[in-house]
Amino acid sequence: MKLDRITLRQIRMPLVHFFETSFSRTYSRDIVLVEAHAGGLTGYGEVTAGENPFYNEEWTGSAWLILRDYAAPRVLGKPLESANDVFPLTAHIRGHNMARGGLETAVWDLFARAAGEPLWKTIGAGARREIPCGVSIGIQDSVEQLFEKIETELAAGYQRIKMKIKPGWDVDVVRRVRERFPSIKLMADANSAYTLADIDHLRKLDDFYLMMIEQPLAHDDIIDHATLQARLETPICLDECIRTAHHAEQAIQLRACGIINIKLGRVGGFREAKRVHDLAQAASIPVWCGGMLEAGIGRAHNVALATLPNFVLPGDVSASKRYWKQDIITPAVETTARGTIELRDEPGFGYALDHDFIRGVTVREESIAL
């Protein structure tokens, strides 16, 4: 197969509720969608970069330029035996994994559609028919608001609660949540808000039998996490700093974490995500699928990924309606009363695109052709 055209489309959609992490508060998303065209067929990908370079170095604007000027020209017209060939074609680009991943995942979807099979099958997954779901709840204006959100999500059936923490919204808030909800599966995500100077403070979180503490230290550090893990009972889960399978290897070797959050964009797509998955599985490190406030395409890709066998913990992949008044796919992604998302068997990522709606939320569009 050869791609004859790649279309980039930036959509803008307000979130139903703002989402606050230790690095910023987001009210509205600007998302780059990638369409990979070959011989009349189209595959769809979604870039998971945020609106600002605060989670990692990428943002909507950088992803657009990397895709247009570097990634698309390297893949267009090249003979592709399988979607596995895309990752190496863009590997000369340093970093920018989310931009590269937007195109890579579109080509996986394209190959699935060409084969008339669901994406989960094309990527070699499908170890379960439904994926266990948790939710990620942002920093709120008050602890009462946080309690309310947790109540709502538990009532909806979600299997675990992740709460965002930052200095000033951490030990005391976690203590109150734990007192109020003594038996829920609970975890905290710091998005790199601490340093080793905070070891004694972070150790206080050991009192609350959290499932894990996600990315407490620097976004680009593995070694300090190993130092911290040796002093913490609670397992550390790495997110930001696992950008390649090699990073996963090093983190495992150094005992920097007990758990890994895998995000498709952060590692550049399905090929590298599967390598991280396989390495973690071989080392008995469980993984789960992270989220980046995706619209429907990215969400559906996450569902497919999370059916690989070692995705044994509930992830951050949840129902479309938690994010969007209307999603770009139909039906919207929904959860069962048991807090799962069921796998679909349609060719490709499994949902239909709402093209009219997508056109209505598009703020720019550009095609790169041979």
Residues at the site binding ligand OSB, with contacts judged by CB under 6 A: 21, 55, 136, 189, 191, 239, 290-293, 316
Out of 104, 189, 221, 294, the only residue in the binding site for Mg ion (CB under 5 A) is: 189
Which residue's CB is nearer to ligand OSB, number 21 or number 62? 21
Instruction: Provide, rounded to whole angstroms, the least separation between the CB of residue 182 and Mg ion.
Output: 25
Chain residue at closest Cβ approach to ligand OSB = 291
Which residue's CB is nearer to ligand OSB, number 170 or number 316? 316
Instruction: Provide, rounded to whole angstroms, the least separation between the CB of residue 84 and ligand OSB.
Output: 26
> Residue type for 91, please?
A
- Using the rule CB under 5 A, is 221 a contact of Mg ion? no
- Which of Mg ion, ligand OSB, none interacts with 169 (beta carbon under 5 to 8 A by kind)? none
| Torsion of the alpha carbons at 158, 33, 349 and 316, rounded to the nearest 10 | -20
> Residue type for 71, please?
A
Q: How far, in Å, CA of 194 to CA of 184, rounded?
A: 25
- Which of Mg ion, ligand OSB, none interacts with 58 (beta carbon under 5 to 8 A by kind)? none
- Which of ligand OSB, Mg ion, none interacts with 292 (beta carbon under 5 to 8 A by kind)? ligand OSB
Which residue's CB is nearer to ligand OSB, number 89 or number 313? 313
Is residue 113 within 8 Å of residue 105, measured between CB atoms?
no
- Which of ligand OSB, Mg ion, none interacts with 293 (beta carbon under 5 to 8 A by kind)? ligand OSB
Quick one: three-class SS letters along 208-227? HCCCCEECCCCCCCCHHHHH
Q: Say if strands 329-330 and 236-238 run parallel, antiparallel, or are unpaired.
A: unpaired
Task: Annotate 77-115 with DSSP letters as a single string.
Answer: T---SSGGGHHHHTTTS-S-HHHHHHHHHHHHHHHHHHH
Is residue 32 within 8 Å of residue 102, measured between CB atoms?
yes
Out of 239, 272, 294, 327, the only residue in the binding site for Mg ion (CB under 5 A) is: 239
Tokens of 92: 């000369």
Catalytically annotated residues: 164, 263
